[in-house]
Amino acid sequence: MSVVTKLRSPVKPMAESRAILCSTGNRFRVSKTEIATKKPQQQPRVTKSPAAAKPDSSVTSNLTASTDDSYSSSSSERSSVKTKNSDKIITPSKRTGSVTKLNNNVVAVAVAVAEDISPEIPGPVKRCHWITPNSDPIYVLFHDEEWGVPVREDKKLFELLVFSQALAEFSWPSILHKRDAFRKLFEDFDPLAIAQFTEKRLMSLRVNGCLILSEQKLRAIVDNAKSVLKVKQEFGSFRNYCWRFVNHKPLRNGYRYGRQVPVKSPKAENISKDMMQRGFRCVGPTVIYSFLQVSGIVNDHLAGCFRYQECNVETEIEPKSPETETELDPHSP
């Protein structure tokens, strides 16, 4: 026994763990004492998402929610939670994870987060090419409410014919600013009254000491008023005479670009010739085409202009009076 004891070498504790070959490669086995003495690693910092961020104090004043962390972590996954001792229902927001409390039909939003998709803001209204951001407001209003609207009144048609003739001397904005003066000087464009104007009366048609139009245009207006009276005797009204060239239905061109809109057309040339033969003056094809556009006999709003379709609808829903039906054919019994 003593011999055996002497042959045995004393067992000394290992300073370091010995590498042991395992099936997955060389790894170290750590003793339990090392695990106990090893310092715990610092936990990684968890960054809360914006949805789970602490609500603002101004919002949390209206919020009644549990402070339990387990509830807040699972609130975004629940569709609705009913409390144990009350009938209150706490509903989490699907988008932000915020809690909404419904009590006596009162909704309190816990967290106000901007929508991912901003509400649609309507863009600027599309108008014809001759209306620009710098256009006179009265000109824009004229485009939006009058230009291209079908006109079927004799006095109004005669007024627009006079304004179309005045475009050789003034622009539309200038004419619109002087429209009240025109109506006052020309007896509200009554052809019967204008046909009786004398030379002295014509020379008195002044605004701020100047003739409202050139002498040639003034004399042409008087001659045209007399021609309108003759047309009314033959066709029943000046309206029937003007609209018969388009079969009493407006022409819809539907141009896409301003460069496509002409200053005259074959239809305007035919009307111009017919009017000249009946004694009208200063009614060239360009004047007549402007007259057709402004009176709505031709719808020349661009296809992209919001007034193009509106003028078409106004034409379709316009009721026909019994007087209109009888005036369509002046020779009918």
State the binding site: 128, 143, 301, 305
Q: How many CA atoms lie within 13 A of 61 on its CB side?
A: 3
CB atoms within 10 A of CB 184: 11
Residues marked as binding for Zn(2+)?
A: 128, 143, 301, 305
Instruction: Look at the alpha carbons of 316, 318, 323, 324 in this order and tell me if their dihedral is positive or negative.
Output: negative
The partner residues of 207 in beta bridges, in order of sequence, read 210
Listed in sequence order, the DSSP H helices in 15-64 are 32-37, 57-60
Classify residue 166 as exposed, middle or buried by CB count within 10 Å of its CB (0-12, 13-18, 19+).
Answer: buried
Q: Which pair of tokens denotes residue 126?
A: 């599309």
Q: Which residues make beta-bridge pairs with 100?
A: 91, 109
| Three-state secondary-structure class, residue 190 | coil
Nearest Cα neighbor of 231 from 186, 189, 276, 297 is: 276
User: How far is Cα 64 from Cα 323, in angstroms, rounded to an integer?
Assistant: 73
Q: How far is CA 249 from CA 25, 51, 147, 158, 259, in A?
A: 94, 62, 16, 19, 25
